[in-house]
Chain A
Amino acid sequence: MQPPGIEAGIHVFFALLSLLSASALLALLHTGSTNVKMIRALALGTAILVWLAWLASVYVYTVEYPVDKALIVKYPQTALAHKFGMEVKEHIFYTGLLLSTLLPIFAYTDLEKSRKLLLWATLFVILGGIVEEILGGWVSISAKIAWTLKAGGG
């Protein structure tokens, strides 16, 4: 069992792409764009990318992360990163996953009517994504610190 490597990178890659896609969608909606084709493509793309981010994280979180987790929780300097950071991250993600699923549903129904719904849902997908990135970064740095402490550093 290895600590997370390229697999974690793939998860983050999909997450980052979903944030870019959602940001572009928000910009179109906020500026009152009538490019329905592009709005629908970005809404669908965002949802697919968030789902891919989840699928890519399953192996990382359930198989690889426990190696890092064991060390992170061992040291008081890093324990909070898992006990609060990762625990919150892994569970609020499911709310975000379903919120992103709403985007193409809104976009492919009556867009004129559901524009406000789409805008607010997109905004919260972005905010949630930023929170996920912050928490993920915290856990990642904490893992490095924990390994350094194990190696006798600090």
Chain B
Amino acid sequence: MRAAVSSIIGYIAAAMFNSILLVIKETNKSVFDWLKATFGHHWLGHGILTIAVFVLVTLLAWYAIRRYEPTDRDIGRLAILVVVFTALSVIIIAGFYAIEVMGH
């Protein structure tokens, strides 16, 4: 279960990074321009960085939880966390653009 737990931690970090980076790049032109200049397209850079966060945090968690064996109750909580952070990521992204659209 070590791989499953560490990848969930990596996923949560990456999902939040994805949403937060979106808000930052859309409200900060220098970040948007940096992504574009570095990766050729802001969206491509956004994806590559999000994947990098997932891999990095998963690996860090893998080393950090060497002796952790989740109980059935823990697994239930992890499932809730996956659902909550997936929904939160979507709400932040959709909410940001909804506010943007309504503001213009």
Contacts and interface: CB of A to CB of B under 8 A. Distances in A.
A75 interface: no
**Dominant SS among interface residues on chain B:** helix
A62 B51 contact: no
A98 B43 contact: no
Nearest to B43: A90
A114 B101 contact: no
**Dominant SS among interface residues on chain A:** helix
Nearest to B88: A95
A22 to B, nearest CB: 14
Contacts, number: 103
A83 B101 contact: yes
Interface residues of A, number: 33
A56 to B, nearest CB: 13
B64 to A, nearest CB: 17
B93 A98 contact: no
Interface of A: 54, 58, 61-62, 80, 83-84, 87-88, 90-92, 94-95, 97-99, 101-102, 105-106, 108-110, 113-114, 116-117, 120-121, 124, 128, 131
9 contacts: A58-B44, A61-B43, A62-B43, A88-B94, A98-B15, A105-B7, A110-B1, A117-B75, A124-B83
